[in-house]
């Protein structure tokens, strides 16, 4: 089948979106099409030509969403400046936003051109592809379309459009916008979101409190999963936090190589606000802003809002329980508790700055890597301590990836396309990341971290 749209967001107050038209493109070209995602959405790839995927042939009028957000702690009114939702595709009772990213200006573009470079759209494609296969809830990339224009960012590149798929693009920042700009619509909007994402709450006596709790727990699950694989989002602004716990907006994101809780690779994060180790406290801070946006729902009863704040007070306990459970699985520990050995292992990681991904493979199968850090007495001691209570190989293989998108390999693949219009390296990476928990070659090049010098100099960009 082709795309089947039933866009319910248009039934909401018109202040929440603008009707838009994608930029004209003479010769759009499909660079990548995610055939597995086509199957998952019930789509026939033969029906998805470049005219439909680039928004040149419209099935209905697209919209750009309005929202707000705290960006690096400062509140700003925002909106889709270079994105448009073509429609909500319905398949097997499930609803998905089909969004174009890089499709031209919208009323929220400000001084931006609404376009995107081919390298930034290829980057988002591979990151979302990897996250999906790593078992992390994420937006999906259906296709990358190269346009006929050029885009100037740090360098001039061909333009491109990403076709992004999500359960919805509703964010913490959408609630912030409704609460501040269209407050009379807050109850109706919240009911809409509950119907769409958490319908089991509709018959609950305290559905708004329970809604906040569910959003908090889904977000905790998401961030704990990020930390499981060493992912650094890079821009955890409230407008980049999904109400459904989906990872999205892969801008200056990266995967950590050498363990460092202060690791930051984003060019715009000058103070380390969104470092790897700061993702937990930032999530709690963001949830506090989300809670504030819901306050008007409890005007008739301050006691009810106290109950919502009590839910947020449980954040630390819930997060830590999820985190330690995750770390026990990474270390192959079947029993509960054992926080002391987990903490001792983390202390060793901080001190050694060993490669985060490879260390768990080495614990599981000694001799996998020729790295002096794994010959140290401290590592032998920590592995010996773990051998008495953990190192269950079956559990570890399910939890610890063999492969992540290594930063330098992605850069090599992107540069090969920009310089030679060749996607061979990019497709090789996709092939490896299709099954990231299965080893393909012993000591594979895809398992090798970059030099420490590369890591210390590596910088990622928003590309807006």
Residue 265 tokens read as 């690779």
Is 239 tagged catalytic? yes
Nearest to 333 by CA among 318, 319, 317, 344: 344
What is the four-CA torsion angle of 242, 246, 247, 248, rounded to 10 degrees? -60
Alpha-carbon distance 298 to 197, whole Å? Answer: 21
Q: What is the DSSP letter of 117?
A: B
Residue 307 tokens read as 């109950």
Residue 462 tokens read as 């928003």
Nearest to 290 by CA among 169, 178, 213, 176: 176
Residue 166 tokens read as 């999500």
Residue 391 tokens read as 């190192």
Class of residue 1 by CB neighbours under 10 A (exposed 0-12, middle 13-18, buried 19+): exposed
Catalytic hit among 80, 97, 225, 239: 239
Question: Quick check: helix, strand or coil at residue 227?
Answer: helix
Question: Quick check: helix, strand or coil at residue 352?
Answer: helix
Give Cα separations from 48 to 29, 54, 100, 102 (angstroms). Answer: 12, 10, 14, 18
- The radius of gyration of the chain's CA atoms, rounded to the nearest angstrom, is 22
Outline where DSSP puts E strands in 238-308.
254-255
Do 234 and 258 meet the contact criterion of CB atoms below 8 Å apart?
no
**Which residue numbers are catalytic?**
239
């Amino acid at each position: 089948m082709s795309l089947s749209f039933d866009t319910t967001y248009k039934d909401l107050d018109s202040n929440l979106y603008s009707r838009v038209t994608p930029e004209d493109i003479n010769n759009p070209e499909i660079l990548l099409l995610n055939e597995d995602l086509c199957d998952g959405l019930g789509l026939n790839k033969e029906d998805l030509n470049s005219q439909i995927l680039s928004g040149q042939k419209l099935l209905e009028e697209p919209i750009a969403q309005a929202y707000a957000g705290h960006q690096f702690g400062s509140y700003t009114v925002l909106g889709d400046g270079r994105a448009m939702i073509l429609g909500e595709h319905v398949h097997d009772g499930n609803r998905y936003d089909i969004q174009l990213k890089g499709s031209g200006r919208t009323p929220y573009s400000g001084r931006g051109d609404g376009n995107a470079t081919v390298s930034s759209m290829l980057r988002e494609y591979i990151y979302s592809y990897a996250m999906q296969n790593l078992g992390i809830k994420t937006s999906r990339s259906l296709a990358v379309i190269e346009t006929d224009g050029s885009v100037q960012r740090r360098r001039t590149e061909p333009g491109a459009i990403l076709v992004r798929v999500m359960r919805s693009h509703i964010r913490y920042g959408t609630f912030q916008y409704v609460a501040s700009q269209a407050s009379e619509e807050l109850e109706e909007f919240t009911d809409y979101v509950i119907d769409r994402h958490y319908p089991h709450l509709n018959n609950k006596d305290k559905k708004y409190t329970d809604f906040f709790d569910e959003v908090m727990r889904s977000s905790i699950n998401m961030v704990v999963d990020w930390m499981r694989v060493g992912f650094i989002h890079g821009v955890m602004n409230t407008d980049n936090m999904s109400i459904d716990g989906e990872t999205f907006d892969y801008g200056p994101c990266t995967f950590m190589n050498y363990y460092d809780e202060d690791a930051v690779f984003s060019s715009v994060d000058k103070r380390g606000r969104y470092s790897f180790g700061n993702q937990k406290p930032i999530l709690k801070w963001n949830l506090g802003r989300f809670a504030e946006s819901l306050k008007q729902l409890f005007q008739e009863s301050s006691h009810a809002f106290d109950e919502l704040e009590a839910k947020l007070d449980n954040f630390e306990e819930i997060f830590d329980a999820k985190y330690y459970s995750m770390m026990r699985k990474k270390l192959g520990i079947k029993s509960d508790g054992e926080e002391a050995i987990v903490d001792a292992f983390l202390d060793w990681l901080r001190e050694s700055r060993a490669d985060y991904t490879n260390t768990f493979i080495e614990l599981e199968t000694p001799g996998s890597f020729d790295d002096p850090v794994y010959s140290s007495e401290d590592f032998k001691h920590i592995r010996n301590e773990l051998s008495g209570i953990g190192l269950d190989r079956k559990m570890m293989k399910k939890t610890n990836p063999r492969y992540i998108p290594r930063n330098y390999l992605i850069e090599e693949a992107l540069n090969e396309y920009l310089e030679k219009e060749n996607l061979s390296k990019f497709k090789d990476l996709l092939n490896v990341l299709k099954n990231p928990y299965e080893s393909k070659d012993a000591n594979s090049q895809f398992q090798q971290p970059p030099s420490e010098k590369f890591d210390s100099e590596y910088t990622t960009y928003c590309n807006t």
